């Protein structure tokens, strides 16, 4: 209705002379390294480069080859509370876009009301025929702030950017949760393996303790050797209980990550049968389009840039149009009589003349926030490249440590066997047997830990590379979520 109330000259001015105050966003130049440090084939990682061109798949964890892990990650993506909170926050920011964008259009409303009143007869006022009397009124009204200088458009642009940033924050949360579940499950399987090693050692030392008890009772060995055997058995027993505690606590952690109360967790393949994912290394520049935290930082920069224009637009006139059409009568049936009709329309132009620096202060704040967002974006990029380099270094050096530890376990296994043979043959004391078995037990636990650490470093690498999710240039509408409103 209100568009009929706009004078032709004003409409022409809106259509032909509208402009948007403030700077348009341009992605800043950033320093991107030519290659990742410690990437396969680099000078600091002189191994073969067979993994350099591997594409990061959306479900990278499926490469590990454990259906139980796949199921746990699916549960976490659907039920983890951090993910659910982040998803609800995206919906909140979408609502902000709708609210801000509504200012670009006329606002139309209606009022219907009625009163009954009596006018005093002693005040010299001309009284109506009926006193007391009824009055019924029905109005349709409209108002429209013409966004001639782009204030609302800039605010809408900022709201859209904030919405996009919230979607990237949701993706970042989901990637972190997936990485936490994968790392937590691998840690659980590592603890299971260490518990098995401790239990096997306990069984072995229990057998040795039984032999030494019989030999001590028969006078074959001294009480010193019997006490040493008892001590080693008790040490292995304490290790078993320690690992049982850690397994239970790790199960509780995983339960919460998948959105459940603490409970026993299912198991799939042992850690020795899990498949190491291939090291994925692409072009460093692709990291800017892959990592959600970088995309979030850039959208925050877009929002801050748009808010400069919204602040500067306060220097210019604000043009508002209003209109009303209605009717008033002493009876409901009289509303439709021509004489009861009432209407009005008008315009208002407000221009700031003296604000004592208030608008300049708003502009200065907006420009300062834009600088903060820019520096935050640049800092996030440097942090991202550092995290990738750290993860690649962790993968490389953990593998080197594990290879050395494997050799040590093989050597200590042989040493323990030879030491026991020497002791049984009377060529050495039982102290050598104890020393060899302690060293082997410790090395086996460290070997299992390093194997879990290797998986953990690969998980951190995938997380540092953006988690393998498809590239998004804007938030995508999910089930039950409205599509992105078209840009004006």
Per mean pLDDT, which range of 84-98, 125-139, 432-446 is the poorest?
A: 125-139
pLDDT at 339: 67
C-alpha distances in Å from residue 159, one per residue of 145, 164, 375, 487 = 18, 9, 21, 12
pLDDT of residue 471: 37
CA 129 to chain centroid: 71
**Is the per-residue pLDDT at 101 higher than 60?**
yes
DSSP bridge pairs for 319: 146, 349
The closest of 61, 59, 273, 65 to 184, measured between CA atoms, is 61
Rounded Cα–Cα distance for residues 300 and 287 (Å): 18
Question: Which pLDDT score, from 0 to 100, does residue 48 have?
Answer: 45
- Lowest mean pLDDT segment, chosen from 229-233, 251-255, 464-468: 464-468
Q: Does pLDDT of 15 surpass 50?
A: no
How high is the pLDDT of residue 29?
87
pLDDT value for 33: 82
Average pLDDT of the segment spanning 445-464: 94
Mean pLDDT, residues 58-69 taken together: 90
Tokens linked to 470? 């498809």
- Evaluate if residue 478 carries a pLDDT over 50: no
The model carries a pTM of 0.83
Most confidently modeled range among 28-37, 49-58, 331-340: 28-37
Terminal-residue alpha carbon distance, the chain:
21
Give the pLDDT score at 330: 66
**Structural element, H or E, at residue 329:** strand 318-329
Q: Which of 116-125, 434-443, 450-459 has the lowest mean pLDDT?
A: 116-125
Average pLDDT over residues 314-326: 89
What is the model's pLDDT at position 363?
95
C-alpha 153/C-alpha 14 separation (Å) is: 13
Asked which of 84-98, 261-275, 344-358 is least confident by mean pLDDT, the reply is 344-358
Question: Tokens 């530890």, residue?
Answer: 405
- What mean pLDDT comes out for the span 111-139? 75
Which range is most confident: 182-186, 222-226, 352-356?
Answer: 182-186
Report pLDDT for 289. 81
Quote the pLDDT of residue 78. 94
CA–CA gap between residue 72 and residue 87 (Å, rounded): 19
Q: Comparing 191-195, 204-208, 294-298, which segment has the lowest mean pLDDT? A: 204-208
* DSSP label of 219: T
CA distance 251 to 184: 9
Of 260, 253, 252, residue with least CA distance to 74: 260
Q: What is the mean pLDDT of residues 115-122?
A: 74
| pLDDT greater at residue 306 or residue 488 | 306
| Residue 436 CB partners (closer than 8 Å, separation 6+) | 412, 415, 416, 418, 419, 420
When pLDDT is averaged across residues 135-163 and rounded to a whole number, the result is 91
Could you tell me which of 363, 322, 325 has the C-alpha nearest to residue 342?
A: 325
Backbone angles phi, psi at 248, to 5 degrees: -60, -45
Q: Are 168 and 295 in contact (CB under 8 A)?
A: yes
Range with the lowest mean pLDDT among 272-276, 325-329, 359-363, 372-376?
A: 325-329
2-115+132-464: which CATH architecture? Answer: Up-down Bundle (1.20)
Determine the pLDDT at residue 35. Answer: 79
Strand order across the 107-117 sheet: 107-117, 133-146, 318-329, 341-350
The number of helix segments (H) and strand segments (E) in the chain equals 9, 4
Alpha helices in 258-354 (DSSP H): 287-290, 292-312
Closest CA to 402 of 461, 447, 445: 447
Q: Is the pLDDT of residue 264 over 90?
A: yes
262-280 mean pLDDT? 92
- Written as six digits, the tokens of 20 are 């948007």
Band of the pLDDT at 150, cuts 50, 70, 90?
A: very high
Q: Judge contact between 461 and 395, C-beta under 8 A.
A: yes
Distance CA 396, CA 392 (A): 6
pLDDT of residue 220: 86
Q: What is the pLDDT of residue 254?
A: 97
- Among the residue ranges 93-102, 151-160, 422-431, the one predicted with the least confidence is 422-431
Average confidence score pLDDT of the chain: 85
CA distance 459 to 454: 9
Q: What confidence tier does 277 reach under pLDDT thresholds 50, 70, 90? A: confident
Residues 194 and 243: beta-carbon distance below 8 Å: yes
When pLDDT is averaged across residues 221-236 and rounded to a whole number, the result is 91
Beta bridge partners of 345: 323
> What is the pLDDT, as a whole number, of residue 296?
95
Residue 12 has pLDDT above 50, yes or no: no
DSSP state of 429: -
* pLDDT given for residue 335 in this prediction: 64
How does DSSP assign 261-288, residue by residue?
A: -S-PPP--S-GGGPPPPPPP---GGGHH
List Cβ neighbours of 430 (8 Å cut-off, separation of 6 or more): 221, 225, 228, 229, 423
């Amino acid at each position: 209705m209100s568009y009929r109330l706009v004078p032709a000259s004003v409409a022409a001015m809106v259509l032909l002379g509208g402009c948007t105050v403030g700077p348009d966003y341009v992605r800043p130049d950033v320093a991107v390294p030519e290659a990742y440090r410690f990437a396969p084939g680099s000078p600091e990682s002189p191994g073969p480069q067979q993994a350099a061109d591997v594409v990061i798949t959306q479900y990278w964890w499926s490469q590990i080859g454990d259906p139980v892990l796949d199921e746990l990650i699916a549960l976490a993506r659907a039920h983890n509370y951090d993910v659910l909170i982040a998803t609800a926050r995206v919906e909140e920011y979408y609502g902000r876009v709708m609210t801000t964008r509504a200012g670009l259009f006329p606002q139309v409303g209606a009022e219907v009301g009625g009163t009954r009143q009596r006018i005093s007869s002693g005040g010299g006022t001309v009284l109506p025929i009926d006193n007391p009397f009824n009055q019924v009124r029905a109005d349709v009204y409209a108002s429209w702030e013409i966004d001639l200088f782009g204030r609302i458009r800039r605010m809408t642009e900022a709201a859209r950017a904030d919405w996009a940033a919230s979607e990237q924050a949701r993706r970042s949360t989901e990637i972190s949760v997936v990485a936490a579940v994968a790392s937590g499950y691998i840690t659980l399987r590592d603890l299971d393996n260490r518990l098995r090693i401790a239990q096997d050692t306990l069984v072995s030392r229990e057998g040795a303790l039984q032999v030494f008890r019989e030999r001590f009772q028969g006078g074959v060995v001294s009480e010193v050797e019997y006490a040493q055997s008892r001590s080693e058995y008790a040490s292995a027993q304490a290790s078993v209980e320690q690992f049982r505690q850690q397994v239970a606590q790790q199960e509780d952690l995983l339960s919460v990550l998948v959105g459940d109360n603490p409970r026993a967790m299912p198991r799939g393949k042992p850690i020795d049968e899990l498949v190491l994912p291939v090291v994925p290394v692409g072009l460093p520049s692709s990291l800017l389009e892959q990592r959600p935290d970088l995309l979030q930082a850039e959208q925050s920069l877009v929002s801050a840039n748009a808010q400069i224009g919204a602040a500067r637009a306060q220097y210019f006139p604000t043009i508002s149009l209003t209109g009303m059409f209605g009717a008033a009568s002493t009876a409901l049936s009289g509303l439709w009589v021509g004489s009861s009709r009432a209407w009005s329309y008008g315009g208002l132009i407000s221009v700031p003349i003296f604000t004592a620096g208030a608008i300049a202060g708003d502009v200065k704040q907006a420009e300062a926030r834009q600088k903060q967002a820019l520096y935050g974006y640049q800092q996030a990029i440097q942090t991202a490249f550092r995290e990738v380099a750290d993860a690649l270094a962790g993968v490389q050096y953990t593998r080197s440590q594990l290879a050395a530890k494997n050799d040590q376990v093989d050597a200590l296994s042989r040493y323990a066997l030879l030491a026991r043979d020497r002791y049984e043959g009377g060529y050495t004391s039982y102290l050598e047997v104890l020393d060899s078995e302690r060293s082997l037990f410790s090395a086996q636990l460290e070997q299992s830990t390093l194997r879990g650490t290797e998986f953990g470093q690969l998980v951190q690498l995938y997380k540092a590379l953006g988690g393998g999710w498809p590239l998004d240039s804007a938030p995508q509408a999910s089930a039950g979520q409205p599509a992105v409103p078209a840009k004006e």
